[in-house]
Chain A
Amino acid sequence: MKKIPIPIEENLGRGHLACAGCGAAIGMRLVLKALGERVVMVFPASCWSIIPGFWPYSSFRVTAIHAGFVTGGATASGIRAALDVKGDDETLVVVWGGDGGTFDIGLQALSGAAERNEDFIYICNDNEGYMNTGTQRSSATPLMAWTTTTPVAQPKENPKKDIMAIMADHQIPYAATATIAYPEDLLRKMEKAKGIRGTRFIHLLSPCPPGWRIPSEICVKISRLAVRSRVFPLYEIEKGRIYTLQEEKRVVPVKEYLKLQGRFGHLSNSQIEEIQRRVDESWDRLQRKARC
C-alpha cells in the first residue's frame, strides 16, 4: 500500500472538551487534516455539540455549522445546493454525525440525501451508543453489551444495525469503514472520497473510554483489536456493489477484543462463543460479497 503522508497542519485547536483518550478527538483531528481548509463541517447534535467548546469560543479552524439532531443529511443538502447556486464548487461539504444521528434519529434524512446522491461526505462517528447523554443504547450498540438502558441483568438483546449494508443499498458511489488505529488507511479513504462526486459515507469506529468502560490510554489499541478480531473489518464499497476487503493477517479471537472492555465484563464463555460465531458469519458474508 502506498504510504500516505499525514499533514502537519492542525484544524482542531487546543482546548476542546473531549474526554481523556476520546477516540473521536483523534478521529476528528485526522479527518480535518485530510479535508484541508476549504470545508464546511455540519454537526448534527452529538458529543460534538459540546466538544468544540461554548460560544464565543470554538476549537475548530474550519467553518462549522451545528445542525438539528435529525438533520445531518438534509442540512448538508441545503448547504451544497446554496454553494452550487453561488458557483462555489471548491468548498467541500462534510457531515460528522454520531451513531445516534446516523443509525437512529437521522437515518431518514441521510437515506433521503443518499437516494438523491447529494454531493457530500458523511462521516458516522460510531461510538456505539448515546455517549453524550451518558451511555444509553442505540441501534449501533453491539449485541449483549451493557449500557445504562441495557443493564447487566438485561444486556442488549439485538445485534448492531448493519449501516454499511444500508448505505450500500442506496447505491452511493463510495462507502468505507475506518478506525484511528490505521491513520494512513483513514487518510487514504478520505482522499479517495474527496475525489468522488455524490454521497460518500465513512463509517468510523470511535472508542469511548467512559462508555465502553475502558482505560483512556487504550483507544488506539482497542480500535486495532476491533479490526483484527473482525468485529469491525476494514473495507470499501464502490457503487454499492464492488466490495474490497482488507484482509487482516494477525487475526485474534473476539475474546481478545471483548475482555478489555467493562461493557462486556458480564459475558459468560458461551455468550462470547455466540458473539464469535456471529462475527465469523458476518465475515463470511462480507467475503461472499467481495467475491461477487
Chain B
Amino acid sequence: MKKVITGNQAVAYGVILSRVEVVSAYPITPQTTIVEELSELIANGRLNTRFLKVESEHSAMAALIGASTVGVRCFTATSSHGLAYMHEMLHWASGARLPIVMVNVNRAIGPPWNIWSDQSDSLSQRDTGWIQLYCENNQEVLDTILQAYRIAEIVRLPVMVVLDAFVLSHTSEPVDIPSMEEVDRFLPPFCPSYPFEPEEPKAYSVITTPEYFFEFRYKIQKAMEEVSEVSRKVEDEFYVHFKRRYGAIERYGGEKADLLLLTSGTVTSTSRLVVKKLIEQGINVAGVKIKRFRPFPAKEISEAIKGAEKLAVIDRNLSPGVGGIFAQELRAALYPGEEKPVIFGFISGLGGRDITPELIEEAIHYALSHSQPEEEILWLGLKK
C-alpha cells in the first residue's frame, strides 16, 4: 500500500511492522512525532507492545538494555542532545551485545541552540560499537528499520538508523508500506542465541579482570567484521520480498568518471540531480552514496572508486581540529590501498543550512579545476 508519509511516520510504520515488543522513549525535537505516532499506534492495541514513557534519554536506553537482556525486540528514537545524554548506555548496549535498534534524527548539538539537520550528533557516537546506517529517503527509512533488526539479531550488535532532521523527518513522500504478512515472511520473531531463563540463574554484564576483558572487545570487532557479509545476505532476501536494494554504498552517474562526489543522507538526493545535469553538459563525474558509516565500508568504497583521480566529500558535520568525519574516515580507509585519489574535504550545511544544488555544483567545479585542495578543509557556503 502506497501512502504519502513523513520520515518520522515511516519510522513508526517500520517499528510496528517489525513487531517491536518494548519501546522506551523521551521526546526531543525533531524526533517527537515518532514517539507520538508510536503512542497512537500502540494505544490502538494493534500489537502486544509495551511503551515506557521514561523521564530521560539515558533511562530510555537503560530500559531497553534491561528489556533486550530478557530477549524481546526493542526500539527507541532520539536526536542531538538526547543521543549525547545516552552516550554511556550506547557503550553498554554494544558491550552487552544487545540487538537494540534506535533511530537518530540528525540534529545539531548546541550551543548555539539549533534544532536543524547536522550529523555531528550521531557521528560523535562512532566509537560506541553501534552499526550506523544513514538514509536518503522515507522509503529507505522504513526498509532500513526492517533490515536493521535482521542484522542486529544475527551479529548481536545494536543498530542506529539515521535520518536528516526536517528534510526527511517532517517531509512527506510516497512510501510503499508492506503488509504485516509480507514483513513477517522477511523478519521472523526475535529468537535470542542465549535465552533468558530466570529459573537458570546467570550473571549479566558483571565485572571481569584484564584476564578476560580484552577478548570481549575482540569479539565485538569480529562481529563488526561480519556486518558487510550479513547485510548483503539480508538485503538479498529483502530484495526477493520487496524488490528494493540499497547496499552499504551506491555508485551512480558516469561509469568512468575521474571525479567522484561522496555524500550521505539527503544530500545524496540533491547530488544525484547535480551529477545528472553535469553529465548532460559533458562533464565526466559520478557520485557515491555512503549509507553505512559503521562498520565503515572500506572495501566497498575502494572497489567503487577504482580509476577515479579525485574524490570530493561533502560532510554535514565537523570534528573541530580535524574537519569532516566522512572525509577523515575515507582517508584512513584508502591509505592501505594502491589507489590514492586526491581528496577534497568540503564542510557544508552545518546547523541545517541548505546544501543547494548550486553549492554542490560549486564543490564539483572546485575539485575539477584544482589539482590539490588549497586547504585541508574546504568550506562550502560559509559566510566569510
Do the two chains bind? yes
- Residues from chain A with Cβ under 8 Å of B60 in the complex: 74
Indicate whether B183 reaches chain A with its CB closer than 8 angstroms. Answer: no
- Residues from chain A with Cβ under 8 Å of B208 in the complex: 54-56
Q: Is the CB of B207 within 8 A of A49?
A: yes
Q: Is the CB of A82 within 8 A of B70?
A: yes
- Residues from chain B with Cβ under 8 Å of A85 in the complex: 21-22, 48-50, 72
Q: Is the CB of B63 within 8 A of A74?
A: yes
Indicate whether B198 reaches chain A with its CB closer than 8 angstroms. Answer: yes
Q: Is the CB of B203 within 8 A of A79?
A: no
Flag A46-86 by CB within 8 Å of B: 1 or 0 each: 00011010111010111111111011011111111111111
- Residues from chain A with Cβ under 8 Å of B24 in the complex: 77-78, 81
- Residues from chain A with Cβ under 8 Å of B209 in the complex: 54
| Shortest Cβ gap from B84 to chain A (Å) | 15
Q: Contacts A60-B203, A74-B66 given; indicate if A81 touches B52 (C-beta within 8 A).
A: yes
| Shortest Cβ gap from B94 to chain A (Å) | 13
Picked from A50, A62, A77, the residue with its CB within 8 Å of the CB of B201 is A62
Q: Is the CB of A74 within 8 A of B203?
A: no
Indicate whether A38 reaches chain B with its CB closer than 8 angstroms. Answer: yes
Flag B66-105 by CB within 8 Å of A: 1 or 0 each: 1111111010000000000000110010000000000000
Q: Give A42 to B69 CA distance when docked, in angstroms.
A: 12
Interface size class of A (residues with CB under 8 A): 35 or more
Picked from A55, A78, A88, the residue with its CB within 8 Å of the CB of B64 is A78
Q: Is the CB of B59 within 8 A of A79?
A: no
- Residues from chain B with Cβ under 8 Å of A61 in the complex: 201
Indicate whether B335 reaches chain A with its CB closer than 8 angstroms. Answer: no
| Shortest Cβ gap from A113 to chain B (Å) | 8
Q: Is the CB of A77 within 8 A of B66?
A: yes
Q: Contacts A42-B66, A55-B207, A73-B59 given; indicate if A64 touches B201 (C-beta within 8 A).
A: yes
Q: Contacts A49-B207, A55-B203 given; indicate if A82 touches B62 (C-beta within 8 A).
A: no
Q: Is the CB of B88 within 8 A of A68?
A: yes
- Residues from chain A with Cβ under 8 Å of B56 in the complex: 108-109, 112
Picked from B53, B59, B68, B203, the residue with its CB within 8 Å of the CB of A58 is B203
Indicate whether A40 reaches chain B with its CB closer than 8 angstroms. Answer: yes
Q: Is the CB of B199 within 8 A of A68?
A: no
Q: Is the CB of B22 within 8 A of A81?
A: yes
Indicate whether A191 reaches chain B with its CB closer than 8 angstroms. Answer: no
Q: Give A277 to B24 CA distance when docked, in angstroms.
A: 46
Flag A211-250 by CB within 8 Å of B: 1 or 0 each: 0000000000000000000000000000000000000000
Q: Give A18 to B65 CA distance when docked, in angstroms.
A: 27
Indicate whether A116 reaches chain B with its CB closer than 8 angstroms. Answer: yes
- Residues from chain B with Cβ under 8 Å of A40 in the complex: 198
Q: Is the CB of B212 within 8 A of A55?
A: yes
Indicate whether B382 reaches chain A with its CB closer than 8 angstroms. Answer: no
- Residues from chain B with Cβ under 8 Å of A111 in the complex: 55
Q: Is the CB of B62 within 8 A of A66?
A: no
Interface size class of B (residues with CB under 8 A): 35 or more
Q: Give A141 to B196 CA distance when docked, in angstroms.
A: 38
Q: Give A88 to B71 CA distance when docked, in angstroms.
A: 12
Picked from A52, A54, A64, A109, the residue with its CB within 8 Å of the CB of B62 is A109
| Shortest Cβ gap from A47 to chain B (Å) | 12
- Residues from chain A with Cβ under 8 Å of B204 in the complex: 63-66
| Shortest Cβ gap from A159 to chain B (Å) | 26
Q: Is the CB of A39 within 8 A of B198?
A: yes
| Shortest Cβ gap from A112 to chain B (Å) | 3
Indicate whether B202 reaches chain A with its CB closer than 8 angstroms. Answer: yes
Picked from B62, B196, B205, B212, the residue with its CB within 8 Å of the CB of A74 is B62
Q: Is the CB of B203 within 8 A of A64?
A: yes
Q: Give A49 to B205 CA distance when docked, in angstroms.
A: 10
Q: Is the CB of A63 within 8 A of B198?
A: yes
- Residues from chain A with Cβ under 8 Å of B206 in the complex: 49, 52, 54-55, 58, 64, 66
Q: Is the CB of A116 within 8 A of B53?
A: yes
A58: nearest chain-B partner, CB-CB: B203
Indicate whether B150 reaches chain A with its CB closer than 8 angstroms. Answer: no
Picked from B74, B201, B205, the residue with its CB within 8 Å of the CB of A67 is B205
Q: Is the CB of B66 within 8 A of A65?
A: yes
Q: Is the CB of A79 within 8 A of B67?
A: yes
Indicate whether A37 reaches chain B with its CB closer than 8 angstroms. Answer: yes
- Residues from chain B with Cβ under 8 Å of A56 in the complex: 208, 212
Q: Give A117 to B16 CA distance when docked, in angstroms.
A: 26
Indicate whether A284 reaches chain B with its CB closer than 8 angstroms. Answer: no
Q: Contacts A52-B206, A55-B207, A81-B52 given; indicate if A75 touches B198 (C-beta within 8 A).
A: no
Q: Contacts A85-B22, A108-B55, A108-B59 given; indicate if A67 touches B66 (C-beta within 8 A).
A: yes
Indicate whether B54 reaches chain A with its CB closer than 8 angstroms. Answer: yes
- Residues from chain B with Cβ under 8 Å of A84 in the complex: 50
Q: Is the CB of B207 within 8 A of A54?
A: yes
| Shortest Cβ gap from A88 to chain B (Å) | 7
Q: Give A180 to B246 CA distance when docked, in angstroms.
A: 61
Q: Is the CB of A67 within 8 A of B22?
A: no
Indicate whether A115 reaches chain B with its CB closer than 8 angstroms. Answer: yes
Flag B1-36 by CB within 8 Å of A: 1 or 0 each: 000000000000000000001101000000000000
| Shortest Cβ gap from A39 to chain B (Å) | 7
Closest CB pairs A-B (n = 6): A78-B66, A112-B55, A78-B63, A74-B59, A82-B70, A71-B62
Supplied contacts A65-B205, A66-B203, 9 more A-B pairs, CB within 8 Å:
A55-B207, A55-B208, A67-B66, A68-B89, A74-B63, A78-B52, A82-B72, A85-B48, A116-B53
Give me 11 A-to-B residue pairs in the complex whose CB atoms sit less than 8 angstroms apart, sorted by A's number.
A38-B198, A40-B198, A54-B206, A74-B60, A75-B65, A77-B59, A77-B63, A82-B69, A83-B70, A108-B59, A109-B59
